[in-house]
Amino acid sequence: MEKNEEFTPRILAFLCNWCSYAGADLAGTSRLKYPASILPIRVMCSSRVDPIFVLRAYLGGIDGVLVAGCHPGDCHYQEGNYYTRRRFAMLKKVFEETGLESDRLLLSWVSASEGQKYAKVATEFTGKIKELGENSTKNKIFL
């Protein structure tokens, strides 16, 4: 793991259609500045995210994964994000226990009106990933 100033992280972001994706859109239309490291994937609800999506991306070499959804209590489907939170906690625990870098995973609640928050999360998370350096699974052969 090297601190590479030239290194542009690639961060996969699962954004729920009703809140986070809209929030990210708002950040864009408001011309807020945030790093170009985020690769968004729109899902209808954050609870659509199966831990193995994150695993596949991580083993594929992605430097960070962000899962963003509506604030608890505001899920468009009422309860989806409560399950997301539990599933994410379990996923992080599996990463911790097996020695994988659980800091490369982030769960955040971003509502449709929180363009500022999205830009902040994107910027801070990118900074954290830059510190962690490139994901070494990128080069591994015997995965």
Closer residue to another protein, CB minimum distance, 29 or 136: 136
Residues making contact with another protein (CB under 8 A):
51-52, 55-56, 59-61, 66, 72-73, 79, 82-83, 85-94, 96-101, 106-109, 121, 125, 136-143
State which amino acid sits at residue 139: N
Q: 22 or 117: whose CB is closer to another protein?
A: 117
From the CB of 118, what's the least distance to another protein, in Å?
A: 12
Q: In this structure, are residues 103 and 128 in contact, taking their beta carbons and an 8 Å threshold? A: yes
Q: Write the CB contacts of 49 (distance below 8 Å, at least 6 apart in sequence).
A: 14, 43, 67, 84, 87
Interatomic CA distance for residues 74 and 77, integer angstroms = 8
Contact 23, 112 (CB under 8 A): yes
* Nearest distance from C-beta of residue 25 to another protein, angstroms: 20
Minimum CB separation of residue 95 from another protein in Å reads 9
Q: Which is nearer to another protein, 28 or 73 (CB)?
A: 73
Compute the distance between CA of residue 27 and CA of residue 7 in angstroms, rounded to an integer: 24
Nearest approach, Cβ of 81 to another protein (angstroms)? 9
